[in-house]
With several copies, the nearest count.
Chain A
Amino acid sequence: MKGKISLSTEFLGKKTKSPLVLPAGIMGMTWSGMRYVIENGCGIITSKSLTLESRSGHPGPVVAEFAGGLLNCMGLCNPGIIDGLAEINDFKKLMPEIPVIASVFATTAEDFAELSRYVNDSKSDFLELNLSCPNVMDEFGLPLAGSKEQVTDIVKLVKKVSKIPVIAKLSPNVTNLSEIAVTAEAAGADALCMINTLGPGMLVDIDLVKPVLSNRTGGVSGVCVKPIALRAVYESYSRVTIPIIGTGGIASGSDAVEMLMSGASLVGVGSAVYAGGIEVFNIINQGIAEYLKKHNYTNIGQIPRLEKLHEQA
């Protein structure tokens, strides 16, 4: 007498039909793009990271492929917080039941708080603080997520302002990621999202004798970052109690199960949209369902977790 298999789950009080999250910067620029992704099996949307003013980003080439992944230096192009939230509102008008995470980027706690006020006035369900963009380091310096003090200041101030739950998006390019995770939790973050892109990395055109990306370097994403993402999530999961959106290199149902087993509550699927096509969400959902079936589970909550680090012998 087995129940029907369901991929639905709850995240910070909101229901979603699938644990798959569209991460910031992938297809989340327009309300119709968000819709297209949801119609293809994604559960939750994250918007492109929005800044106070609009940004055109870096000139092209802004993406480059290599064995195992993608490099990108989009440079936080976005229409600015006002137009960006208008896209979210238009999407929520169409699909009110789909949770939307508004991602925002700034360099000071005050600007993050300012952005949060706008987001709280929108139909967004959650607020994500991008503390970790590696593609604007020339402009803004090291990722904020490298400094415990800055993470604390920003999260604390935003939490004062925001009525909707706050997610801190962390960078893998630090030596103490799980400590930053603990710091963000202590400062009041309601959830974590990790990882942002790795590196950055560089590729060279040996005929033109130039870096391939216009900004010279770009963040690494795609299947090759999966082991780093799994380790990051697992180490953080071992030390915090808030939920984690595990993102990085997920491209198949078994990848997603690995991520859930490592401690993620939801699973981000970004670069796989390029490598696997828009169908990738449905394919991953199907793969998770097959895993559940094989192990006689009916919902993703039954997927076992790895023993936490300190629980190990």
Chain B
Amino acid sequence: MSRRNTIAIARIVEETPTIRTFYFDYDLQAKPGQFIMLTDLANGEKPFSISECESDQFGVTIKKLGKFTSNLFEKQAGDLLSFRGAYGSSFSLKGNNILLTGGGYATPPLYYLCKELLRKGAQVTVVNGARTRDDLVFCERFENLGLEYKKITDAGCFGRAGTSVDIARELLSNNDYDMVYVSGPELMMKAMRELLQSYPGLNYEFLFERYMKCAIGICGNCTMDPLGIRLCVEGPVLAGHQVEKLTEFGEYHRNAAGKKEYFK
């Protein structure tokens, strides 16, 4: 476990009414795909992916969902928060002609990945999908990178209605990508896996979410059947050859008590 740090929120950017990015002036040295455990030591502690990471600051982009995140949305710049990490595996940065496919509040970690890929000189196409405009984030940031960028919502806010998987399907059939990175809701990623099964030679990596308690690989709450690998240590980023073997993927996950909950 890297040491716990307690520092003030440097600034908060309102991305949409329900999504905000919290910045901290701290040299986290996280790799793309890694996450921190964030807490105010009063309302629980939860995992969040790094969406931006420079030598002088990093950010996490957070969707207001339940008790913890609602409480977080009460905080102001200057308020103290405490975090530990960065934890977990990271995206491999492999590939030269790369497709990034994101969904909803899970897209932001792909932004940090994207910047690192561009720094490496790779060619990157980004698809960003969400159910509504309120869940679609980081559009401007991606657009400012000057790359091929497509956004879409189920609701059709930008003309066409559909999912990021629909766009990825078209892009895959018209392009010759050598790597695909995906971060989105589990059922979206399930659809992506099905899609990717038509491209047998194509490598890909997914960023998963499972209920995390310890985040240091001991409580066993975040293991993935049937491999038993821990999403907090061997994940949250898993490679295609691992994803292929996961039987629980898209089917169920385990809740705070370790009880199986099936996806609807």
Contacts and interface: CB of A to CB of B under 8 A. Distances in A.
Prevailing SS type, chain B contact patch: loop
A25 to B, nearest CB: 7
Given A79-B257, A208-B80, A48 B44 contact: no
Interface stretch (B121-129, B170-178, B184-192, B223-231): B223-231
A34 B258 contact: no
Contacts of A140: none
A27 interface: yes
Contacts of A210: 41-42
Contacts of A35: 226-228
Contacts of B43: 59
A99 B215 CA distance: 27
Interface string B62-81: 00000000000000000010
Interface string A4-45: 000000000000000000000111111111111101000000
Interface size class of B (residues with CB under 8 A): 35 or more
Contact of A61 (B39, B218, B221): B39
B220 A208 contact: no
B254 A34 contact: no
A157 interface: no
Interface in A39-67: 39, 48, 54-57, 59-65
B82 A62 contact: no
A63 B1 contact: yes
A273 interface: yes
A77 B256 contact: yes
Contacts of A113: none
Interface of A: 25-37, 39, 48, 54-57, 59-65, 70, 72, 74, 77-80, 83-84, 94, 205, 207-208, 210-212, 214, 270-271, 273-274, 277-278
7 shortest interchain CB distances as A-B pairs: A36-B228, A60-B45, A32-B228, A29-B220, A27-B220, A56-B256, A33-B223
16 contacts: A29-B221, A31-B225, A48-B258, A54-B258, A56-B256, A56-B257, A57-B256, A61-B39, A61-B45, A61-B84, A64-B4, A207-B80, A208-B40, A274-B217, A274-B218, A278-B217
Given A33-B230, A77-B219, A270-B218, 10 more contacts: A30-B220, A33-B223, A36-B230, A56-B255, A56-B256, A57-B213, A74-B213, A207-B7, A214-B45, A278-B233
